[in-house]
Chains A and B, each alone.
Chain A
Amino acid sequence: MLKKIGLFLLCIGVVFGAEFKEKRYIYAVDKTLFFEGNITFLPKSIHIEYTKPKEQNLTYSSDDEQMQKRYFFTLLHAIYENNESLLNEFFQVKTKDDITILLPLEKVQEYIKKVVYKKVGNHLEFLKIFMQNDDRIEIETLQ
């Protein structure tokens, strides 16, 4: 019985997905890119299905060979799961109303200037990542 409940909960987790829009400003080329798609959070990975500008799939996981992908997974997953201890490991966390500002500590400072996001309940309304190289990533979820 417990196994069945477990499987059911797992299925809910697997099918959970959110539509999102992403605006990405690349300073090096002074251009803004737009993406759209679905994001699904799984226990050990994040699956992203891009629908625009073209259909492409991307998976982030904690075991990824690429360090950059691994860092993104950690950040997104920690925000999604409200994992405060993990966020505190890398950032100074400031929350006012539903908006949280993450100011990076030590090594993370090398890459990220700051992160701002708004979460209402369990719903992530937006997420903005300001990079040290002046790139900006803004993600907005639609449901």
Chain B
Amino acid sequence: MKRYSNFALFFILLGLFFLFKPYQNLSTNLLALLPQNEQTNMLKLYENSPLSKEVLVSIEGEDLEAMKDLEKKVLATGVVSLKKTPLSSEAFFQYLKKYRFYLQNFNSQNLLHVKTNLEEKYQNLLTNPLYTTLDKDDPLSLFVSKTNPSSIELKNGHLFLKNYGYMSIFSFDKTVSFQKVYEVFAPFMNEKNRIFSPAFYFVQNAKAIQSQVNFLIFLAIGILLFLYLVILRDISLLGNTMCTLVSAMICASLIVSALWDEVSLFVFVFGISISTVAIDYMFHHYFLGFYEKQKGFNKEVFFGFLSTFFAFFLFLFVDFPFIRQLSLFSLLSLTYSYVIFAFVFPKIGFEQKRFSFDFPQIALVKNYKYFSLVLLIALAWLVGNLHLDFNIKNLDYHNEKLQAEELFFKEKLQEKNSAPFLLKAHSLDELITKSKELKTLHVTAPLAYLLDAQTYEKRKLLLGSIDFSSIREKINMFSKEIGFREGYFAKAYSAKLLEPLKPIYTLESLQDFGFDVFFDGRVYYTFVFAPKELTLKNASKIDSAMLFKASLQKIDTQLLFCGLGVLLGILGLLLMVAKENFYKTFSYILFPFVFVLLFVHNSMNVLQIFMLFIIVALSIDYGIYLSKSSLPTKQAILFSVLSTFAGFGVLVFSSIGVLFYIGEVATLGLGTLVILMLVGKNED
């Protein structure tokens, strides 16, 4: 019965896993990593807005037929629809007509020479070969259209990307999967068509990462099978170890997902990675013969586990969902694995494989006291010059083809150096007023083309101060004299255009005009585009990388205290456990740390920091184990290093940034640990 207790626990947990489905709480959204505050809510709004659910398509030249054909085929799928823009909106066209006297520039100079003005127009009609029409509503051309320089114009009734070709903007609903949208456009992706959507990054990158991950999984499985089946030749040990690690991960995921409604996928990925560190508890017990004979309690492994447990426990108090979730996941998973490896495995019993090979010893490091002092100085210098790169986007797979498409549209739309900013207000009118204010700062604010109550009242007052009925009389009199048809301008400057009702906007009416406006039940939002480096008083920049950094900076004191607490705790534990071998143990912790920092050229991204934590967690364990140096201990560490390399180190063969960074630090860290075992003296 004892032999199968581990598997029994695994099946119970597996049953619970399918019963409670913790994976349903998984979120691929980067926002699930961050504390919920006003800024993250804004990013959430942006991600759910139609602006991030767009597909831009352009075909070079003036081939309207080709664009129409593409549109027809794409729309026939029912997955996407053509996005309404102010340029194509009939409702907006009627609005512009109705409020033209309020939206256009007012040229009062033309009021001074009514007769001359009309005479010029008469002559032009009769002599100009270019056919022109007279504006019966405004014969004196008092109201002049404002020029709105735009990269997109209307050509032959279709959107046209200036100096390039016809363009279409498609939108899709938030319920439609990115994969589905990608599949719709994939057949059209060729040299002739420029197609881009931010959603395509998720699909293409995931595909590229997936293909590499498959190769790396094969490599990792190959190394692990070689370790267990060729060297250790114990399939039962392999089965039980895998079963324990998976059970630990299930146990942790069940509890974490029960406590939080939304758990980032990164917590699961990183948590599972940290869980594999527990394998060294198993190897240490195994090589020291704890599974062969009943030897009792292994203090070194317990202290190794306790130090890691203590570190993650302290980080539970940091007010940052990602750190808190990851710490709890790691803590639970490591505890489960430790309990099974320390108390259940000895009951199951595994025959220990003995190796005759001796561990080579060069003993270049003779005095650990001075060595750790040198390492400490180097560490202080390296940390002092360390630049932390919190830009999550730098971790992304560099999809050059799609990046080129994104850059093409950004350049053409003159958005290359601009970023979206979220503008909010308590009413739609206030939103328009704020947009108008921003437009004066050369910010692209689409709503600025609308009329707000303040501008309406101002123009109404101005127009009310002019006697248009006498102007109309003058026009009628002069026009008859000049030769115009009698009464042709009878309806000029009508009350309909001079005194339209104050515009009342609703969310629906503005969306019908083709503007991106949202309401969260409390506040209205829209987007404006401004140079990235600009700080706007009324609008917040949407930048996920910056938000992550800003959120971390908010808790930097907490992180510092936790870090210090962990450091003091571990040092105390080392003094207690290692005693006379303190400097040697300490060197094992410092050496990989210094070496990795030296190698990453003083700049570390989030993943490298994360991996460094795992290496430090391992090196603490190894340091504690090596305080009592013996051949089985070194063998246990070597196997543990090889297992961890199979898990993380193989990622160094990946060409994808996100995977390579983990593999790079893992390989460096693990390599330095082995080097120190080779070159370090056995005793302190």
Contact = CB atoms under 8 A, between A and B. Distances in A.
30 contacts: A24-B131, A26-B125, A27-B485, A28-B484, A28-B488, A29-B122, A29-B125, A29-B483, A30-B485, A31-B126, A48-B129, A50-B129, A62-B156, A68-B131, A68-B132, A68-B133, A72-B131, A85-B65, A85-B68, A86-B64, A86-B156, A86-B157, A89-B157, A89-B158, A107-B90, A107-B93, A131-B133, A133-B134, A135-B131, A135-B133
B125 A28 contact: yes
A101 interface: no
Contacts of A24: 131
B437 interface: no
A57 B129 CA distance: 9
B166 to A, nearest CB: 11
A133 B126 contact: no
B133 A111 contact: yes
Contacts of B62: 44, 62
Interface in B457-493: 483-485, 488
A6 to B, nearest CB: 15
Contact of A85 (B64, B131, B484): B64
Given A29-B485, A90-B157, A107-B93, 14 more contacts: A28-B125, A28-B485, A29-B126, A29-B484, A35-B129, A48-B129, A58-B130, A62-B62, A69-B130, A85-B64, A85-B65, A107-B90, A131-B133, A133-B134
Interface string A26-42: 11111101010000000
Nearest to B132: A68
A35 B129 CA distance: 8
B217 to A, nearest CB: 51
A25 B17 CA distance: 83
B136 interface: yes
Nearest to B62: A62
A70 B122 CA distance: 23
Nearest to A73: B156
B73 interface: no
Interface of A: 24, 26-31, 33, 35, 44, 48, 50, 56, 58, 62, 68-70, 72, 74, 78, 85-86, 89-90, 106-107, 111, 131, 133, 135, 137
A33 B134 contact: no
Q: Please give me the 4 A-B residue pairs with the lowest Cβ-Cβ distance, nearest first.
A: A89-B157, A50-B129, A56-B129, A30-B485
B155 interface: yes
Contacts of A86: 64, 156-157
Interface in B476-532: 483-485, 488
Interface residues of B, number: 24
> DSSP class of A's interface residues: helix, strand, loop or mixed?
mixed
A51 B136 CA distance: 31
Nearest to A129: B131
Most chain A beta-carbon contacts within 10 A, residue among B65, B131, B134, B158: B131
Given A44-B62, A62-B156, A107-B90, A28 B134 contact: yes
Contacts of A137: 131
Interface in B112-149: 122, 125-126, 129-134, 136
A28 B488 CA distance: 6
Given A29-B122, A89-B157, A133-B134, A58 B129 contact: yes
A50 to B, nearest CB: 5
Nearest to B482: A29
Nearest to A49: B129
A89 B156 contact: yes
A74 B268 CA distance: 59
A74 B156 contact: yes
A2 to B, nearest CB: 19
Contacts of A33: 126
A61 B51 CA distance: 33
A96 to B, nearest CB: 25
Nearest to B160: A62
A106 B90 contact: yes
A99 B484 CA distance: 34
Contacts of A30: 485
Contacts of B158: 89
Interface in B602-630: none
A106 B89 CA distance: 11
A89 B65 CA distance: 11
